[in-house]
Each structure stands twice: as structure tokens, then as C-alpha cells.
């Protein structure tokens, strides 16, 4: 069944199973699943393209995309074909053996980036863990630093493991999980002087800054793009000092910025960068990528049972190839410009409520004014009522991260829903 058929006729059941007719039993779910999420009262059953349907048959335009993950939307024919073929052929085998499609995926990523080597895992947090371990071993074995420190930014987000929530410069994610991992220090984002001061302060002969780990654009921190001059200054500083520059591309990479990688918008190349989310288009996979100079891992240093298995790699390779073959970067650039122009037009109608619209490609934020009661969660609740799914990026920023296949008509439809939601919020 084609994607077009599913989109044009939403009454067609998904191939994975029949449509549920009864309302979803939330209490039954909550009695069995840990309450680690504040869930909206919607039970999603199937999707096609940029559309989702809940168990009661209601249709939504999906501008969440699994939080910047469903690169090709839902039920994309290329992914369906690959998933079907690969599960019938070979879905998992140990990394004790060569996995040809893993090598093919690594080559695609290397050919389309500044990296020389790739390590595969299952998620963004794991990819960032790999980058942290790589930087620490590099510090010990190449730089001779006894107690390495990694600088990260305030308002950053790098994952939910103990090391990555420590790397995350947001106390709300760290509360009640102490003692946190040692070896991290926070600086303001886009502030070069703060970085220089921290390096001077922390270098005492025993401790030393081994790496600077940043997002090219802060996602969870409010969709805040990196400043070009700041990152170019950092690159020069790292070249002069031997400090590694690590970029977390988990949310902004894989074409979401309008280029394959966020760092391309900044005119620099990192030493290490990470990918996940959009890499597998919704199938779990992550990657730690690096230049050969910092590829210091040896057998036994790092591993992942499921990382880089044939199933995940085959799907990720299909996502990568489809991005290229369907020229989706151009669509991301054009639809991103259309979305920002539309949001700015809405902002001009609500100058007392909306402070700013910003972003790259198809990762954009609409920031509400700090001195009003209206929150991003309020706006998201109102857009859901209009059939549009959005996600907050902090208490005052509404995030727009649709699939990269989104059409001009779908952008227009989303903008209508946002304007209606703002009108409701300001009554």
C-alpha cells in the first residue's frame, strides 16, 4: 500500500493491525507503565506521511515527529520495504562478526560529513556517552590530563543517563539523581569569553579541559541557534590548545537544519559529533562519529549489544539514501522559510504575547513573552484541539519539528491552527 493511498483515505486500516473502535483505557495503561511522562490524553494508533490518527479516528497533523525523529514521516514506502525485507533476512547478529550494511551506513555518513570513523549504538544518550568516553580516553592517553573536564553549556540537553544528565546544563533534569558524575563544568551558550575564562580557571596541572561539548542549536533549551562567530572562535581555540570540540547533533542533524549537519550552518568542523533521532527515522539507532585523530578506542573499550545491528542499519541507510535521492534538504530549507514567515506574521498580530520566532530549517521555536501567564504548554493544548500536534521546548517556547517531507499545504494548515490557538488563548 502506498503512502499516498493512506493519506488520501484515512479509513484504510494500517497494515500493522485493525483500527481500535473503543476509547483507549488510560487507567489500564497507567497501572502498568511507569509515570515518567506527562502524557496528553490521546492514544495514537497509526500514521501516514505527516498525519496521525488516534484510537477514536481523529486525525492530527504531526509537527512533533516523535520529537524530531520521524525524518520521512510515518509509513514511508521506502522504510516499509526495507523493514519488511530486512526482518525476513537478518535482524540481529553480534558485532563479533562483520555486518556489511553497518559498513555501508558508516561509509554514507563519512562520505556526507567531516567524520572518518563511526561507532553505532541505540540512542542519542548512548551516542553522547560514547563521545564523553572517547574524549576522556583521548585526554588521558594523548593529552596526559589526569582529571579531564568537559565544558558544556547552560540550558543544554544531552540525554538521561547519569553522565549525560550531568553534561546537561539544566538542574531540573538532575534533581534527586545526585551524586552526579564528576568532570563537567558549565558555561553560558554563545559566550566565548566565558569559555576562555573557564579554561584558565580549571587548568591547575591535575585538572584540565579535555573537550567542549555543545549543541549546534540548543533544542530542549529553547530552539536557540549557535552564533557563527562564537563557534568559529571555539574552533580556532580548540586547534590552538588541542581541546576536542564535540557537537551534539542528535536533534539538529540528519537534514533537519536544512543541511545534513547543524555544524555546516556554522562554518566549522567538529572533532567528534553525535547522531540519533532522525538517523533511523523512528527505528532506534545512534552514532558517535569522529575524526581519525581522536579515534582512540581499542577492542574492549566500548561496545553495544544491539548497536549497529543489520535491522537498524538497513533502515537508517534507507533514510540517508532517501534524504539524498528525494532532495529533501531543499524541501527543508523552503518549508522552513515558509513556516518562519508564517509564524512571524502571526507574531505581528500578537505582539504582546509572542516575543520571537527563530530556528533553522525545520527546527523552529516560537517564544512567548516572559511577563505573561500564557505558557508553551497552553499553546500546545490549544493546537491539539485544532488538530495540530506540537511540543514545548521549555515553559515559554513552542517547538515546530515536522517530518522533513512536509508539504507547503501542510505548513499552511499548521499556521491556520496556530493562529486559531493564539486567538483562543488571548480571548
Q: Which residue has the cell 581499542?
A: 298
Angle, helix 408-425 to helix 328-349, in steps of 10 degrees: 20
Tell me how crowded residue 171 is: count the other CB atoms within 10 A of its CB. 9
In a domain, residue 74? The reply is: no
Asked if 39 and 50 touch (Cβ cutoff 8 Å), the reply is no
Q: Are residues 61 and 101 in the same domain?
A: no
The CA distances from residue 336 to 79, 258, 330, 361, 415, in Å, are 24, 8, 10, 4, 12
Q: Are residues 311 and 397 in the same domain?
A: no
Q: Which of 265, 298, 325 marks a domain boundary?
A: 325
Which tens digits make up the pLDDT trace of 64-114? 999 999 999 999 999 999 999 999 999 999 999 999 999 999 999 999 999
In a domain, residue 88? The reply is: yes
Q: Are residues 367 and 244 in the same domain?
A: no
Which tens digits make up the pLDDT trace of 265-312? 999 999 999 999 999 999 999 999 999 999 999 999 999 999 999 999
In a domain, residue 76? The reply is: no
Instruction: Please list, in sequence order, all residues whose beta carbon lies within 8 angstroms of the beta carbon of residue 328, skipping any fewer than 6 positions away.
Output: 255, 322, 404, 405
| CATH number for the domain that contains residue 400 | 3.90.1150.10
The pLDDT score that the predictor gives to residue 30 is: 86
Which tens digits make up the pLDDT trace of 209-248? 999 999 999 999 999 999 999 999 999 999 999 999 999 9
Which tens digits make up the pLDDT trace of 174-218? 999 999 999 999 999 999 999 999 999 998 888 999 999 999 999
In a domain, residue 150? The reply is: yes
Q: Which residue has the cell 561507532?
A: 119
Q: Are residues 132 and 36 in the same domain?
A: no
Q: Are residues 300 and 370 in the same domain?
A: no
Q: Are residues 144 and 275 in the same domain?
A: yes
pTM strictly above 0.85? yes
- As given in the structure block, the three cell numbers for residue 235 are 574552533
Just list the catalytic residues: 157, 248, 277
Q: Which of 325, 348, 364 marks a domain boundary?
A: 325
Q: Are residues 27 and 118 in the same domain?
A: no
Q: Are residues 316 and 333 in the same domain?
A: no
Given a cut of 90, is residue 151 above it in pLDDT?
A: yes
In a domain, residue 294? The reply is: yes
In a domain, residue 383? The reply is: yes
Please say whether the dihedral angle defined by the alpha carbons of residues 228, 233, 239 and 242, taken in this order, is positive or negative. Answer: negative
For residue 266, the 8-state DSSP code is T
Q: Are residues 402 and 299 in the same domain?
A: no
Domain count, the chain: 2
Q: Are residues 125 and 232 in the same domain?
A: yes
| CATH number for the domain that contains residue 164 | 3.40.640.10
In a domain, residue 75? The reply is: no
Q: Which of 325, 359, 384 marks a domain boundary?
A: 325
CA–CA distance, 321 with 399 (Å, rounded to integer): 27
In a domain, residue 35? The reply is: yes
Q: Are residues 302 and 391 in the same domain?
A: no
Q: Are residues 110 and 188 in the same domain?
A: yes
Residue 175: burial class (beta carbons within 10 Å; 0-12, 13-18, 19+): exposed
Supply the range of the domain harboring residue 406.
3-69+327-425
Amino acid at each position: 500500500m502506498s503512502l499516498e493511498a493512506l493519506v488520501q483515505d484515512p479509513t484504510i486500516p494500517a497494515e500493522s493491525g485493525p483500527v481500535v473502535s473503543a476509547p483507549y483505557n488510560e487507567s489500564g495503561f497507567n497501572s502498568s507503565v511507569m509515570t515518567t511522562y506527562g502524557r496528553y490524553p490521546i492514544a495514537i494508533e497509526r500514521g501516514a506521511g505527516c498525519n496521525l490518527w488516534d484510537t477514536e479516528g481523529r486525525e492530527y497533523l504531526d509537527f512533533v515527529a516523535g520529537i524530531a525523529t520521524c525524518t520521512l514521516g510515518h509509513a514511508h514506502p521506502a522504510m516499509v520495504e526495507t523493514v519488511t525485507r530486512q526482518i525476513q533476512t537478518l535482524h540481529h547478529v553480534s558485532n563479533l562478526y562483520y555486518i556489511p550494511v553497518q559498513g555501508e551506513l558508516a561509509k554514507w555518513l563519512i562520505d556526507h560529513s567531516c567524520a572518518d570513523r563511526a561507532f553505532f549504538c541505540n540512542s542519542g544518550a548512548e551516542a553522547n556517552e560514547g563521545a564523553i568516553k572517547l574524549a576522556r580516553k583521548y585526554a588521558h592517553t594523548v593529552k596526559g590530563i589526569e582529571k579531564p573536564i568537559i565544558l558544556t553549556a547552560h540550558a543544554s540537553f544531552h540525554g538521561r543517563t547519569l553522565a549525560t544528565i550531568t553534561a546537561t546544563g539544566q538542574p531540573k533534569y538532575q534533581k534527586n539523581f545526585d551524586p552526579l558524575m564528576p568532570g563537567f563544568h558549565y558555561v553560558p551558550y554563545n559566550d566565548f569569553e566565558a569559555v576562555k575564562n573557564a579554561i584558565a580557571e580549571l587548568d591547575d596541572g591535575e585538572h584540565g579541559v579535555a573537550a567542549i561539548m555543545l549543541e549546534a542549536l540548543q533544542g530542549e533549551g529553547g530552539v536557540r541557534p549557535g552564533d557563527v562567530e562564537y563557534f568559529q572562535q571555539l574552533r580556532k581555540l580548540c586547534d590552538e590548545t588541542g581541546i576536542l570540540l564535540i557537537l551534539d547533533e542528535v536533534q539538529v542533524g540528519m537534514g533537519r537544519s536544512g543541511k545534513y549537519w547543524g555544524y555546516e550552518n556554522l562554518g566549522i568542523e567538529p572533532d567528534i559529533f553525535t547522531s540519533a533521532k532522525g538517523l533511523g527515522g523512528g527505528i532506534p539507532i545512534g552514532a558517535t562519529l569522529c575524526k581519525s585523530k581522536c579515534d582512540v578506542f581499542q577492542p574492549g573499550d566500548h561496545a553495544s549489544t544491539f548497536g549497529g545491528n543489520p535491522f537498524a542499519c538497513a533502515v537508517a541507510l534507507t533514510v540517508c539514501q532517501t534524504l539524498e535521492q528525494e532532495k529533501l534538504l531543499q524541501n527543508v530549507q523552503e518549508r522552513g522559510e515558509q513556516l518562519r514567515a508564517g509564524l512571524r506574521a502571526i507574531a505581528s498580530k500578537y505582539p504582546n504575547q509572542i516575543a520571537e520566532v527563530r530556528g533553522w530549517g525545520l527546527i523552529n521555536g516560537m517564544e512567548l513573552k516572559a511577563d505573561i501567564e500564557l505558557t508553551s504548554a497552553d499553546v500546545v493544548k490549544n493546537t491539539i484541539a485544532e488538530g495540530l500536534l506540537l511540543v514545548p521546548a521549555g515553559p515559554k517556547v513552542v517547538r515546530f519539528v515536522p517530518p522533513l517531507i512536509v508539504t507547503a499545504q501542510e505548513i499552511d494548515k499548521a499556521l491556520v491552527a496556530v493562529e486559531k490557538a493564539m486567538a483562543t488563548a488571548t480571548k
